[in-house]
Structure 1
Amino acid sequence: MSVRLIVRTFSELCITVGALIILFVVYVLFWTGVKAAGATEGQIDGLQDRWAHGAVSAPAPTVSPSPTANAPTSTVPAPPAPAAYPDGKAFAMLYIPRLGKGWEWPILENTKVRTLQKGLGHYRGTASLGATGNFAVAGHRRTYGDPFKDFPKLRPGDAVIVTDGTTWFTYRIDREPYRTVPSDTGVIDPVPRKSGFDGPGRYLTLTTCDPEWGSSHRLIAWAHLDATQPVTDGRPAAFHS
């Protein structure tokens, strides 16, 4: 085999590999976002249609928020059994004003790969929305719409607003995002470990991957329920705070 043939073959191989890499990058950066946009819009439209006809999935009980994030055990009732949200279906909308005026994502039941391609996922077995315990939600940092791309921007006091179509639940972030490893499942316990909460309460946990384009670690944000109000009263003031 001549040197010229070897060089030509190697060059063609490099071009082929380069083309495949470019296609993969386009898929990751562009096509997954396109797919996510369509899937997410479909979930939101479905939710709004159901709510317009008065259908709410496994409504959480109406509750008054804990006086503080660290309410004493003796003054807070034991967590009820988690609500049986329909598997793989959207049941709520989540908004984080800190992450942008138009930032809104549907929450679906379970955290399977296909589910997280359509929106955020509620960890099965964690508390229902607004209930005593820990309402835990996962989302992609990058790809499929990049819902939690700006997760590190979250700060104490930031509002995380969730609605099930009948009630607005306003949670408040308690500390800057905490970095841990995927095996640290205690972060979604009813009283999440390392959160600083010292007793039962009405909590929310958000989780995503870290670093931005990897998955070796997780970023965690914890919040406590600050206020509730019926959707008939309009949007909460927290949207503007």
Structure 2
Amino acid sequence: MSVRLIVRTFSELCITAGSLIVLFVVYVLLWTGVKADGAAAGQIDTLHREWRDRPAATPTAAPTAAPDAAPDAAPDPAPARRYEPGRGIAVMYVPRLGRDWEWPVLEGTGTGVLKKGLGHYATGARLGATGNFAVAGHRRTYGDPFKDFPRLRAGDAVVLTDGTTWYTYRVARAPYRTVPTDTGVIAPVPAPLRKGAAAFDGPGRYLTLTTCDPEWGSSHRLVVWAHLDATRPVTQGKPPSLGS
């Protein structure tokens, strides 16, 4: 084989490899996002349909006495069977991340679930209940739901609805960086992992959000803790933090 043929063959292999890499990048950056956006919209539509068709006599959570009631004034949601793996639980809104930021929360944190939306850790508490309602989401790919996670700040609202009640949680502090093995962040009472980390003194109604860090890696996690600030029946309209 001549040197010219070897060089030509090598060049063709490089071009082929480069094309495959470009196609893969396009798939990761664009196509997974398109698929995730469609899947998430489908999950939200399914939840809205289920809520619309749900008999009024079988609410999923104990009713609150008045709009924007203090969380301690309402009992825990009535005992119910565990969330069904892979099924939608709620819709989450985070005004800090955009006026149109809206993602479904499904039960479980497996790969298939996180392609459709955010995932609720199966060991966590039910929405609005005493304990820690812990949720994971992709930072990048599959719709980039938590792309702007580092923008979150103390006092920001994280609002969820299960079709019966609006739950407004308030972020305790800016995102905290840790490693995947630090499972204390999703404990019933979120544990401090180092001096200065946000912690809670005892049982309460907490929310934890987790995502990968760095932006295109997974060696670490970014974590945000929040506490339940107010509840509001859906019949009273959206909570103030979501505007009109």
TM-score, reference length from structure 1: 0.90
Correspondent of 1:114 among 112, 117, 125: 112
The one-letter code sitting in structure 1 at the alignment partner of 2:237 is G
Question: What is the deviation of 1:66?
Answer: 4.4
Correspondent of 1:161 among 145, 159, 162: 159
d(CA) in 2 for partners of 1:55, 1:136: 28
d(CA) in 1 for partners of 2:161, 2:77: 20
Once the two structures are superposed, the pairs formed by residues 218-229 of structure 1 within 5 Å of their partners are: 218-229=221-232
Question: What is the deviation of 1:59?
Answer: 2.2
Aligned residues: CA RMSD:
2.3
Contact kept in structure 2, 1:168 and 1:230, CA below 8 Å: yes
Number of the residue aligned with 1:39? 39
Unaligned runs of 5+ in 2: 65-69, 193-197
The one-letter code sitting in structure 1 at the alignment partner of 2:71 is P
- The 3-state SS of whatever aligns with 1:206 is strand
The Cα offsets for residues 165-202 of structure 1, whole Å up to 9 and x where unpaired, read as 00000000000000001111110000111232111110
Number of the residue aligned with 2:48? 48
Once the two structures are superposed, the pairs formed by residues 9-158 of structure 1 within 5 Å of their partners are: 9-54=9-54, 59-62=60-63, 64-66=70-72, 84-158=82-156
Number of residues of Structure 1 aligned to a counterpart in Structure 2 = 232
Question: What is the deviation of 1:44?
Answer: 0.8
The Cα offsets for residues 27-54 of structure 1, whole Å up to 9 and x where unpaired, read as 0001101110111111011001111112
Question: What is the deviation of 1:83?
Answer: 5.5
Correspondent of 1:206 among 201, 206, 209: 209
Q: Percent identity?
A: 68
Unaligned runs of 5+ in 1: 68-76
d(CA) in 1 for partners of 2:96, 2:234: 21
Correspondent of 2:191 among 190, 193, 196: 193
Contact kept in structure 2, 1:79 and 1:133, CA below 8 Å: no
User: Residues 93 and 78 (structure 1 numbering): CA distance in 2 closer, same or farther, change over 3 Å?
Assistant: closer
TM-score, reference length from structure 2: 0.89
Contact kept in structure 2, 1:186 and 1:193, CA below 8 Å: yes
Contact kept in structure 1, 2:91 and 2:103, CA below 8 Å: yes
The Cα offsets for residues 1-50 of structure 1, whole Å up to 9 and x where unpaired, read as 21101110110111011001001000000110111011111101100111
The Cα offsets for residues 77-126 of structure 1, whole Å up to 9 and x where unpaired, read as 99998861121001200000000000000000000100000000000021
The one-letter code sitting in structure 1 at the alignment partner of 2:142 is Y
User: Residues 222 and 81 (structure 1 numbering): CA distance in 2 closer, same or farther, change over 3 Å?
Assistant: farther
The one-letter code sitting in structure 1 at the alignment partner of 2:15 is I
